[in-house]
A and B are shown apart, each in its own frame.
Chain A
Amino acid sequence: MILAAPTGAATLLTELGAILVALALLGRLAARFGISSIPLYLLAGLAVGNGGVVELVTAQDFIETGAQIGVILLLLLLGLEYTGDELTAALRHHSPAGAVDLVLNFTPGLVLGLILGWDIRAALLLGGITYISSSGIIARVLTDLGNTGNRETPVVLAVLVTEDLVMALYLPLMAGLLIGGDAFDIGVEIAVAVTAVVVALGLAIKFGNRISAIVFNRSDENLLLSLLGLALLVAGIAERLQASAAVGAFLVGIALNGPAERAARNVLGPLRDLFAAMFFAFFGLQINPADLPPTLAVALALAVVTAATKLATGWWSARQAGIDWPGRLRAGATLVARGEFSIVIAGIAVADGIEADLGPLAAAYVLTLAICGPLLARAADPLARRINTRDKRARAAT
């Protein structure tokens, strides 16, 4: 170093740059093999974190802040995907499927947590992790396989919508439980948070048009600042009310529609990609790779069980919608992938420090299903067709 001693800024920039380049390379690798980039970002975080191959010195703080913004953007853009009408329609027509999904997929995580002798709250968090499918990975899978037009797809999407709505109540509920205190305090805390979410959801659906009209601006620059500012503000207020920042951002996304929504998706999409990548890496970063192997067997078993329960969910829901068995199989296999939202929930657990084993277990679990889910979805269709032709041949033979 002839020019100057490495200052804090120089280290920060090089570390941050190196991480982003590494994530970019991993993204290309993922695209080449047709898998989701989320598990690779996680692995990257594992590699540079505590006990990893190289350790970051200064970039960690920045990545931590970036990760928080990443969660907010993930949920904001998820909310943008839906209009109030779609949410109410999904609730009206698909609540049975949503209920089956909740019972079948929340239970395995919850039960495992209890078997492991964890605090009930940690077990509830693990239930959330196994419950929620990855909207992001599934949307990609549907497009990649050209399955968007399939008749079972509305069923798959409806299940995802109900999951996201359940999540909007689950997150503030967990936030309330994690604060602790006596039963009365927790009750009040949760009642306030849940009421706030329900009222905000109602307002978002009712006054979405008006809010969108106020926020909309023809200048992309101004729109970006308005939207990001609004989302962070609401997220901050929600966090203050113990209703979880992510849910606040989700509600902002739901309130926006029309031209504001389309423009928002364009200007915020790239930002989301950047900060969400940081979020996944940060989650990996907090986990010591040495903690992973001991949890691996349990994580794999949990993955197998909850892959089966998601298959059953998709199968049952598609059957209710009058879909034949190949479509039921596809619906089930598509729903298996877990990803970003399981990590959001696991992130809460790690930040709270409630159960040391939860982080590594969740990491191994999500890594498995984020990779295997899409592969399973890909395999469902050829499998169905092979069985179909065999059936036909058998029928022709008789």
Chain B
Amino acid sequence: MTDINETRLPGVGTLHDFVCQSGERIGVISHHAGRREIVLYDADDPDRVSECTSMTPDEAHVLADLLGGTSVTERLHDLRQEIAGLAIDWLPISPQSAYAGKTIADTALRTRTGVTIVALVRGDQPIPAPGPDADLFADDTAVVVGTAAGIDAAARLLSAPAT
């Protein structure tokens, strides 16, 4: 799983960036107004953007589809809404995750992070209100509710590779 950095840009939006296997750093700026910018960083000066392309939300959707992304992850930014301190988020179960193939009870998610899995999405099939003995499979998406900090912890927990 690639490490993605998230940086808040007050008044602008959010910047997500990561280093590709080729060593190049690439980032996406999600503007508050919905515009997306794709930025590539300079090899000589890694703090500096050397190329950037601005896209309307529609164009960004098209690009995401072309890259084979699901619209779930791509809309993460909008979907993660906070309701009076409560956040809802979509967490993918990666094939490398230690919990792929385990049950919800095995994760002890609620005890460890205070976050509850309220639904699973498997392929196109939603599984609402899964019980503690429900299985988590690779490529499932867990719909979770909790505090923002709890969800960050849950995301780390669920994506941690098996040791």
Taking Cβ atoms with an 8 Å cutoff, the residues of A that contact B are 81-82, 86-87, 89-90, 135, 139, 142, 146-154, 157-158, 160-161, 209, 261-262, 265, 323-324, 326-327, 330, 381, 384-385, 388
Residue of B nearest to A323 (CB): B47
* Least Cβ–Cβ distance between B48 and chain A, in angstroms: 6
Judge if B7 is at the interface, Cβ distance under 8 Å.
yes
Q: In whole angstroms, how far apart are the Cα atoms of A135 and B17 in the complex?
A: 25
Query: Could you say which residues of chain A place their CB within 8 Å of the CB of B46?
Result: 151, 324
Q: Which residue of B9, B12, B41, B48 is within 8 Å of A381 (Cβ)?
A: B48
- Report whether A149 and B11 are in contact in the complex, using a CB–CB cutoff of 8 Å: no
Instruction: Classify the secondary structure of B's interface with A.
Output: strand
- Report whether B45 and A157 are in contact in the complex, using a CB–CB cutoff of 8 Å: no
Query: Could you say which residues of chain B place their CB within 8 Å of the CB of A323?
Result: 47
- What are 23 inter-chain pairs, A to B, with CB distance below 8 A? A82-B10, A86-B11, A135-B11, A146-B39, A148-B37, A149-B29, A149-B37, A149-B39, A149-B41, A150-B47, A151-B48, A157-B9, A157-B12, A161-B10, A161-B11, A209-B83, A323-B47, A324-B45, A324-B46, A326-B48, A384-B45, A385-B44, A388-B44
Q: In whole angstroms, how far apart are the Cα atoms of A256 and B69 in the complex?
A: 33
Q: Which residue of B15, B27, B39, B47 is within 8 Å of A327 (Cβ)?
A: B47
Judge if B4 is at the interface, Cβ distance under 8 Å.
no
Q: Which residue of A90, A160, A324 is within 8 Å of B47 (Cβ)?
A: A324
Query: Could you say which residues of chain A place their CB within 8 Å of the CB of B41?
Result: 149
Given A82-B11, A157-B12, does the pair A149, B27 have CB atoms closer than 8 Å?
Answer: yes
Query: Could you say which residues of chain A place their CB within 8 Å of the CB of B66?
Result: none
Q: Which residue of A87, A89, A209, A265 is within 8 Å of B33 (Cβ)?
A: A265
Q: In whole angstroms, how far apart are the Cα atoms of A146 and B8 in the complex?
A: 17
Judge if B49 is at the interface, Cβ distance under 8 Å.
yes
Given A149-B27, A262-B32, does the pair A327, B45 have CB atoms closer than 8 Å?
Answer: yes
Residue of A nearest to B27 (CB): A149
- Report whether B49 and A388 are in contact in the complex, using a CB–CB cutoff of 8 Å: no
Given contact pairs A81-B11, A86-B11, a sample of 15 additional A-B residue pairs in the complex whose CB atoms are under 8 Å apart: A81-B32, A86-B10, A89-B10, A146-B52, A147-B49, A148-B29, A148-B37, A148-B52, A149-B17, A161-B11, A261-B32, A262-B32, A262-B33, A326-B47, A388-B44
Query: Could you say which residues of chain B place their CB within 8 Å of the CB of A326?
Result: 45, 47-48
Q: In whole angstroms, how far apart are the Cα atoms of A158 and B83 in the complex?
A: 25
Query: Could you say which residues of chain A place their CB within 8 Å of the CB of B17?
Result: 149
When A and B form their complex, what is the total count of cross-chain residue pairs whose Cβ atoms lie within 8 Å?
81
- Report whether B33 and A160 are in contact in the complex, using a CB–CB cutoff of 8 Å: no
Given A149-B37, A209-B84, A262-B33, does the pair A327, B10 have CB atoms closer than 8 Å?
Answer: no
Q: Which residue of A90, A151, A330, A385 is within 8 Å of B10 (Cβ)?
A: A90
Q: Which residue of B10, B33, B52, B83 is within 8 Å of A157 (Cβ)?
A: B10
Residue of A nearest to B40 (CB): A149
Query: Could you say which residues of chain B place their CB within 8 Å of the CB of A324?
Result: 45-47
* Least Cβ–Cβ distance between B6 and chain A, in angstroms: 11
Interface centre among A82, A148, A265, A381 (most CB of B within 10 A): A148
Query: Could you say which residues of chain B place their CB within 8 Å of the CB of A142?
Result: 12
* Least Cβ–Cβ distance between A396 and chain B, in angstroms: 14
Residue of A nearest to B51 (CB): A146
Given A154-B7, A262-B33, does the pair A148, B12 have CB atoms closer than 8 Å?
Answer: yes
- Report whether A139 and B11 are in contact in the complex, using a CB–CB cutoff of 8 Å: yes
* Least Cβ–Cβ distance between B3 and chain A, in angstroms: 16
Mark interface residues in B51-86 (1 if CB within 8 Å of A CB, else 0).
010000000000000000000000000000001100
Query: Could you say which residues of chain A place their CB within 8 Å of the CB of B10?
Result: 81-82, 86-87, 89-90, 157-158, 160-161
Q: In whole angstroms, how far apart are the Cα atoms of A68 and B31 in the complex?
A: 30
Query: Could you say which residues of chain A place their CB within 8 Å of the CB of B44?
Result: 385, 388
- Report whether B8 and A152 are in contact in the complex, using a CB–CB cutoff of 8 Å: no
* Least Cβ–Cβ distance between A330 and chain B, in angstroms: 8
Query: Could you say which residues of chain A place their CB within 8 Å of the CB of B48?
Result: 147, 150-151, 326-327, 330, 381
The 8 residue pairs across chains A and B that have the minimum distance between CB atoms: A149-B39, A327-B47, A81-B11, A86-B10, A151-B47, A149-B49, A146-B52, A161-B10
Query: Could you say which residues of chain B place their CB within 8 Å of the CB of A148?
Result: 9, 12, 29, 37, 39, 49, 52
B residues 1-44 near A (Cβ < 8 Å) are 7-12, 15, 17, 27, 29, 32-33, 37, 39, 41, 44
Query: Could you say which residues of chain A place their CB within 8 Å of the CB of B52?
Result: 146, 148-149
- Report whether B11 and A157 are in contact in the complex, using a CB–CB cutoff of 8 Å: yes
Query: Could you say which residues of chain A place their CB within 8 Å of the CB of B45?
Result: 324, 326-327, 384-385, 388
Query: Could you say which residues of chain B place their CB within 8 Å of the CB of A147?
Result: 48-49
Residue of A nearest to B11 (CB): A81
Interface centre among A89, A90, A151, A265 (most CB of B within 10 A): A151
* Least Cβ–Cβ distance between A165 and chain B, in angstroms: 11
* Least Cβ–Cβ distance between A332 and chain B, in angstroms: 13
